[in-house]
């Protein structure tokens, strides 16, 4: 799709499905609108299991794209494997940054400290662009209660020329917790240690007890709030 075609498609899809969320939104996109042309992008982070569970009930063969930046916690990699097995997901696609790009742009492996935006571009933004090249649409697990740039997140949006849906955009933290309990989903092992939003190891800190912002531990002390794949 061109961007103009994408904008027209977005208007049509929003008119038909914009009031839906959760599985009610996912199902028509997977089964009717973009069969074989849509993927879920998952961090396998603290709340990821809810959307993965939802997808597994509709189509466990849906491509699930996981960005392995090379800087992730070992706990995240093990949690990923646990959820994939538990939910019966059959098409996990582990995407890594190009070795040449890392060698040229981050030869010492510490670019995250001096220029986190450039680090994210090499390790996440560029790899995801390649991974999504063959798809017309993709799914994210972002939610409005995460605040900042996500506060007014639409359930359906345009990402370049691709349609992107956010089935949990309107969901509250309470509703997420209810889904964990209802399906007896395992928690990310780092949550119990105070990590409420979990990304790359150098740029993820524990959240101070009582902090209302679940993403306060990401890029703490910087103005940066997003890795760039959603911007």
- List strands edge to edge, sheet with 156-159: 92-95, 64-67, 38-41, 137-139, 162-165, 156-159
Decide: 189 and 86 in contact? Cβ < 8 Å: no
Burial class (CB within 10 angstroms; exposed 0-12, middle 13-18, buried 19+) of 209: exposed
227 is catalytic: yes
**Residue 163 in contact with residue 156, Cβ under 8 Å?**
yes
Catalytic: which of 119, 120, 203, 227?
227
Where would I find the H helices in 60-209?
74-87, 99-105, 111-114, 116-120, 126-131, 173-183
**Mind telling me the catalytic residues?**
227
């Amino acid at each position: 799709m061109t961007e103009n075609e994408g904008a027209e498609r977005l208007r049509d899809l929003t008119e038909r499905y914009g009031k839906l969320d959760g599985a009610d939104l996912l199902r028509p996109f997977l089964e009717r609108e973009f069969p074989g042309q849509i993927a879920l992008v998952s961090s396998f982070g603290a709340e990821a299991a809810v959307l993965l569970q939802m997808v597994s009930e509709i189509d466990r063969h849906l491509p699930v794209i996981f960005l392995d930046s090379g800087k992730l916690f070992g706990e995240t990699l093990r949690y990923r494997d646990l959820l994939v097995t538990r939910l019966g997901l059959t098409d996990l696609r582990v995407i890594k940054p190009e070795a040449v790009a890392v060698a040229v742009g981050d030869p010492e492996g510490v670019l995250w400290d001096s220029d986190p935006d450039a680090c994210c571009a090499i390790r996440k933004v560029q790899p995801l662009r390649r991974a999504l090249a063959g798809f017309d649409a993709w799914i994210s697990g972002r939610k409005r209660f995460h605040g900042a740039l996500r506060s007014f997140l639409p359930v359906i949006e345009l990402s370049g020329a691709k349609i992107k849906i956010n089935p949990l955009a309107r969901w509250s933290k309470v509703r997420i917790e209810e889904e964990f309990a209802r399906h007896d989903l395992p928690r990310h092992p780092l949550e119990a240690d105070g990590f409420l939003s979990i990304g790359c190891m150098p740029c993820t800190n524990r959240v101070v007890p009582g902090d209302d912002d679940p993403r306060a531990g990401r890029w703490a002390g910087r103005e940066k709030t997003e890795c760039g794949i959603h911007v």
